[in-house]
Structure 1
Amino acid sequence: MIKSINHNLTSLKKPSTPATKADLATATNLLDTLKAHQAECVGMAANMIGVHKRIIVAQIGPFALAMINPKITAQHDPYQTTEGCLSLTGHRLTNRFKTITVSYLDQNFKTHTGDFSDFAAQIIQHEIDHCNGILI
């Protein structure tokens, strides 16, 4: 189900709690909402739709990937870039890493570890920051 976008800074700065199987509908709602905003958005975290659970979605090439309880386990090659956010107005300077390794659960609660680089890594870092209550 497509959800409205949360613009409340107090809410967005609240760290999210780990997701459980009871939160799977949130992953589906995030994927639906991301698709509805595909012209202006490449990733979302659950707090962007008002749910404070550690669930993100990222558009990785042609595929939208849902990650439950994602955790960056390695990061390399720091750089500075400018980003925008669907929940915020304007663009801001931020620090990212060119390559990251992420452990996460899929929608079947199967564990995965993935290596991501360049723009895909940037999207995932932005959304994990959301889970931690960190805004650009």
Structure 2
Amino acid sequence: MILPIVAYGDPVLRKKCEEIDADYPGLESLIPDMWETMYQASGVGLAAPQIGKAIRLFLVDTSPFAEDDELEEAERGQLKDFKKVFINARMESETGSKWPFNEGCLSIPDIREDVNRMDTITLTYMDEAFETHTETFSGLLARVIQHEYDHIEGVLFTDHLSSLKKRLLKGRLSNISKGKVQVDYRMRFPDMKRKR
């Protein structure tokens, strides 16, 4: 089932999310619904707060990036086959050097900005079978995971921008929360005036 994606301005996007266990109600349908929602919106990642749930769950499928000819062959191969569910993720370390990349977000449509992030991360997480893994990711893979991880910490990519850039975007962000934006996927807008 395709779920509405929560727009910028909704308080759930600012919550530090709670851990879940295998008995979380509806988890067996929630994960497939999140995949379906993400693919319908042409995303490469989706976090539970983006569908209104303040839980530590996100998923990533970087296969669309594998078409990018500017990437090295090894990285394209890594991105092509990467599809994972991350439950109760905890960042162990962020290392290397910061590098910029143009990011967007399904909850903040029509805004893309360069964000600097570290190039290597180590993460401890559970998969959908609730088996624990500790893995290190680098490059574009690390970036997508960092973006989704930020969501379960209540952080948005716009938080990484300079104060000047934030001021310049303020009006556009306000319009998004009011539903004054064109999107081709279902969204839920926090400040949209309800019709009686």
Work out whether 1:79 is the aligned partner of 2:80.
Answer: no
Contact 2:87 2:126 in 1 (8 A): yes
Give the structure with the larger strand fraction.
1
Misfit runs of 4+, over 6 Å: none
Note the residue ranges of structure 1 that are not aligned, 5 or more in a row.
Answer: none
Offset at 1:103? 0.7
User: Partner residue of 1:3?
Assistant: 3
Q: CA RMSD in A?
A: 1.6
- Aligned positions of 1:18-29 closer than 5 A: 18-23=19-24, 24-25=27-28, 26-29=30-33
TM-score, structure 1 normalization: 0.88
Give, in angstroms, the shift of residue 120 of structure 1. 0.8
In 1: Cα distance, 2:155 partner to 2:115 partner: 11
Stretches of structure 2 that go unaligned for 5 or more consecutive residues are 63-79, 158-196
Work out whether residues 11 and 50 of structure 1, in 8 Å CA contact, stay in contact via their aligned partners in 2.
Answer: yes
How far apart in 2 are the matches of 1:18 and 1:103?
13
Q: Specify which structure has the higher proportion of helix.
A: 2
Q: How does 1:101-112 map to 2 (within 5 A)?
A: 101-112=122-133
Q: State the match for 2:67 in structure 1.
A: none
Share of identical aligned residues, percent?
Answer: 33
Q: Which structure is larger by alpha-carbon Rg, 1 or 2?
A: 2
- The residue number in structure 1 matching 2:54 is 52
Contact 2:8-2:108 at 8 Å conserved across structures: no
TM (norm. structure 2) is: 0.63
Distance 1:2 1:64, change over 3 A: farther
Alpha-carbon separation, structure 2, partners of 1:35 and 1:91: 19
